[in-house]
Amino acid sequence: MSTAITLPNSALQPDGAGTASFTSSSISSPANAVQTVAIDLADRSYPIVIGAGLMGAHAIYAALPQAATALIVTNTTVAPLYADALRTALAPKYAQVHLVVLPDGEEHKNWQTLNLIFDALLQHGCDRKSVLFALGGGVVGDMTGFAAASYMRGVPFVQVPTTLLAQVDSSVGGKTAINHPLGKNMIGAFYQPQLVVCDLATLDTLPARELSAGLAEVIKYGPIADMDFMGWLEEHMDALLARDRTALAHAVRRSCEIKAWVVGQDEREAGLRAILNFGHTFGHAIEAGMGYGAWLHGEGVGAGMVMAAELSRRLGLVDDAFAARLRALVQRAGLPLRGPVLDAADNAGRYLELMRVDKKAEAGEIRFVLIDGPGRACVRAAPDALVREVIAACCSG
Amino acid sequence: MSTAITLPNSALQPDGAGTASFTSSSISSPANAVQTVAIDLADRSYPIVIGAGLMGAHAIYAALPQAATALIVTNTTVAPLYADALRTALAPKYAQVHLVVLPDGEEHKNWQTLNLIFDALLQHGCDRKSVLFALGGGVVGDMTGFAAASYMRGVPFVQVPTTLLAQVDSSVGGKTAINHPLGKNMIGAFYQPQLVVCDLATLDTLPARELSAGLAEVIKYGPIADMDFMGWLEEHMDALLARDRTALAHAVRRSCEIKAWVVGQDEREAGLRAILNFGHTFGHAIEAGMGYGAWLHGEGVGAGMVMAAELSRRLGLVDDAFAARLRALVQRAGLPLRGPVLDAADNAGRYLELMRVDKKAEAGEIRFVLIDGPGRACVRAAPDALVREVIAACCSG
């Protein structure tokens, strides 16, 4: 059964001409049920399926386009855990299922690693119909997606995200990319998968630090779009940290629904979609300034949300109580509350320098995603002096 | 004044539901007139302007999107000839016009060279609105287009092709790519420019060998789509080789019109568009087998068209006279008629091996673009034994 979902907060109501729509369905409520969020992007539409143990169920892949070969792209951490299960599930569908195992970590999200995927595709004689499967976290997903977008100018791909962050973030939106030494995600494409399989059972093997990092992207959806969801997270944070599958299923589904609505309005990030980067402007500066991989992406977003909320507060957009409430939720998720000192001599200057090369910056002006009322985000510039005050107040070495 | 063009040959008549359309306009017929071919691809539509001396006319760029910065991408051969003129013409439009000069040659169409463009974009603080200008031949155009498609997931770009091949081939269709050691154009994107400026004056400085290579792609449009155009080429080959601007303007315009019609039917190369690869399956094998850069692309296409016509003849699709007529035209254009021997021990085997990794191949089966009647192309497989005969008949060391 399929029902249309209406988002509760006014900031996310369709404005008449909106093109976005998605439908969600679920079989009652037990933890083992399969839930589906349908992402509606015209000829680039696809379903996200959510449930425990889905990866190994070959029926999940039945509707994918037929091809002679499939290539599973994964990393050294995930391969021993899940590559065999996925391979077995794909065997009835594809005559040949190949595997390429990448080194693990954000520091490998570069051209050299991407090229390992192209090497494998060509060595195995993969053609324009071959299907890529991204089995892993956000780094594997981003690189596999960009490889799929670029190989022979585009082949089909499927996301099988094995981290909470990838399930709630990269599974919707079609953003793929690699890093450049001078900036994160600078080289990439908008490219949609055919299918996303969020297998909640894979979260059992996720290190606690990565579970927390994933919760940063879940928490984000509250302040920018849905304060009811923020309230639900406050009630269920202990269950999420204990990996309760019913709670995880709801968090993943609601995050995907909100992101799908926003992306449906603005697939190519011309406007509204930028609100999904709440916490990311400061967060990207932290990641780049510390060297990719030192802080997890979600950790940067956690501290970055606290900094963006503080900037919103100092601009008079939200009150003390809202900023304190967000800070408390970030802390309960096990995330860092304070940014690192990136430069002992001029820390704020270093943050500003890194934020000016952010993709959202225009002609050197930093565009901050701020909260201008609980459940509502805006994108705007801020005076350097005020940003410096926020950085001084929110960082420690 | 703008008039709709109807292609004369039945193979290119719209089939009712066709989405393609283009309009062409010209100011009478003198060589200095500006002609426009409008490429209609919905929100990715753009004009091709054709004429002598257009590059330096700043009015040509007036309708482009506004931005703070532009980056001219060119190579070591073209930069000293035209970079200053383009820079001067762009100065009224963009506050900053930067330049990056790549090494010249197909052998540099790889990731390392592409990365020089990304380095320049980031070093100059280029943002999502910055406009890239590809000033040069097909290699510069393909790499700049892929850089534009990928930088921050897509920035605007303009083609200023300075070779005949680039003016008639890469200016329409939105194919961008780099080579991989295991295959040509294996990594890329479909990405449309904002504008194409075909300045016929740039052909004055084109080496004779490259003029001939460009004529291969012009000749191609005859056998696959328009025998009237083939007849026109037979009459005007001497004028074209003498770089007569009226003749060149017609050849460039007619080639772009035919290609625009085909691409408008099939932007993502699902079917019909493959006919534009007439001569390319054998040609790509020649290029790859000799090492990129040893044969010019158009030279491979020249010998490749002769081989594809011979295969068509042996399959009974065309008669001896047609194959001889095409051979004569290829020869008059100054192009090689015979393919090289790639492997003394098993030359046909080497060709077949290289052709099996072509992007058009499916599950290892080579898809040949063949002529199945003058002015009409088809895509089909052929028995290996027959292909071997053709290679034996058409190659010499």
pLDDT of residue A20: 34
How far is the C-alpha of A40 from the C-alpha of A21, rounded, in Å?
A: 6
Q: Reply yes or no on whether B297 is catalytic.
A: yes
Confidence class for position A170, pLDDT limits 50, 70, 90: confident
Catalytic residue, chosen from B234, B269, B353, B389, is B269
Q: What's the pLDDT at A25?
A: 55
Partners of B180 in the β-ladder: B183
Predicted confidence band at A148 (pLDDT cuts at 50, 70, 90)?
Answer: very high
**C-alpha distances in angstroms, A104 versus A79, A109, A138, B174, B380?**
10, 9, 11, 35, 43
Q: Which of residues B171 and B161 earns the better pLDDT score?
A: B161
Q: How far apart are CA A365 and CA A136, in angstroms?
A: 35
Residue bearing tokens 């961008």:
B176
Helices then strands (H, E): number in chain B? 12, 13
Lowest-pLDDT choice from A55-69, A348-362, B258-272 = B258-272
In angstroms, what separates the C-alpha of A179 from chain B's closest C-alpha? 10
Q: How confident is the model at residue B31 (pLDDT cuts 50, 70, 90)?
A: very low
Domains A3-208+222-265 and A272-394 share a fold: no
CA–CA distance, B247 with A296 (Å, rounded to integer) = 61
Q: Answer yes or no: is pLDDT of A8 > 50.
A: no
Task: Note the pLDDT of residue A324.
Answer: 97
What is the mean predicted confidence (pLDDT) over A245-257? Answer: 96
Phi-psi region of B153 (alpha: psi -120 to 50; beta: other; left: phi over 0): left
More confident residue, B45 or B26: B45
The Cα–Cα gap between B192 and B40 comes to 11
Q: What is the pLDDT of residue B50?
A: 96
The per-residue pLDDT for A7 is: 39
Tokens (6 digits) for A270: 């011309």
SS3 content of chain A, % helix, strand, coil (to 5): 45, 20, 35
pLDDT digits (tens, 9 = 90+) for B376-386: 999 999 999 99
* Beta-carbon pairs below 8 A across chains A and B: 88
User: Contact B150/A189, CB-based, under 8 Å?
Assistant: yes
- DSSP letter string, B184-213: EEEEEEE---SEEEEEGGGGGGS-HHHHHH
Residues A183-220: pLDDT tens digits?
A: 889 999 999 999 999 999 999 999 999 999 999 999 99
pLDDT above 70 for B391: yes
Backbone angles phi, psi at A189, to 5 degrees: -155, 155
Residues 6+ apart with CB under 8 A from B9: B225, B226, B227, B228, B375, B376
Q: Which residue has the higher pLDDT, B44 or A120?
A: A120
Q: B151 to chain A: which residues are within 8 Å by CB? A: 186-187
Residue A6 has pLDDT above 50, yes or no: no
Contact predicate B188/B175, CB 8 Å? yes
Q: Is the pLDDT of residue A72 over 60?
A: yes
Which top CATH class is B3-265?
alpha beta
Q: What average pLDDT does range B78-90 have in this prediction?
A: 97
Which pLDDT band holds residue B15 (cuts at 50, 70, 90)? very low
Instruction: Find the catalytic residue in A98, A220, A245, A280.
Output: A280
Q: Do B186 and A357 count as a contact with CB atoms less than 8 A apart?
A: no
The DSSP output letter for A319 is -
Angle, CA of B117, B74 and B164, to the nearest 5°:
130
Helix (H, G, I), strand (E, B) or coil at B271: coil
Look over chain A and give the mean of its residue pLDDT values, rounded to a whole number.
89
Q: Which CATH number fits domain A272-394: 3.40.950.10, 1.20.1090.10, 3.40.50.620, 1.10.8.60?
A: 1.20.1090.10
Band of pLDDT at residue A29, cut at 50, 70 and 90 = very low
Per the model's pLDDT, the better-predicted residue between A163 and A181 turns out to be A163
The C-alpha of B381 sits at a distance from chain A's nearest C-alpha, in angstroms, of 16
CATH 3.40.50.1970 fits A3-208+222-265, yes or no: yes
Tell me the per-residue pLDDT of A17-28, one tens digit each, with 9 for 90 and over.
333 344 555 444
Q: How confident is the model at residue B30 (pLDDT cuts 50, 70, 90)?
A: very low
Residue B75 vs residue A396, higher pLDDT: B75
- Tell how many helices (H) and how many strands (E) occur in chain A: 12, 13
Contact by Cβ (8 Å): B203, B211: yes
Summary mean pLDDT of chain B: 89
Tokens matching residue A206: 């996720």
Domain ranges within chain A, ordered by starting residue: 3-208+222-265, 272-394
- What confidence category does residue A3 fall into, taking pLDDT thresholds of 50, 70 and 90? very low
Q: What would the mean pLDDT of B332-350 be, rounded to a whole number? A: 96
- In this structure, how many other beta carbons lie within 10 angstroms of the beta carbon of residue A17? 6
Residue B368's DSSP bridge partners are B380
Mean pLDDT to the nearest integer, A131-158: 97
Q: Which two tokens stand for residue A41?
A: 């992007």
Q: What is the pLDDT of residues B203-225, one digit of tens each?
A: 999 999 999 999 999 999 999 99
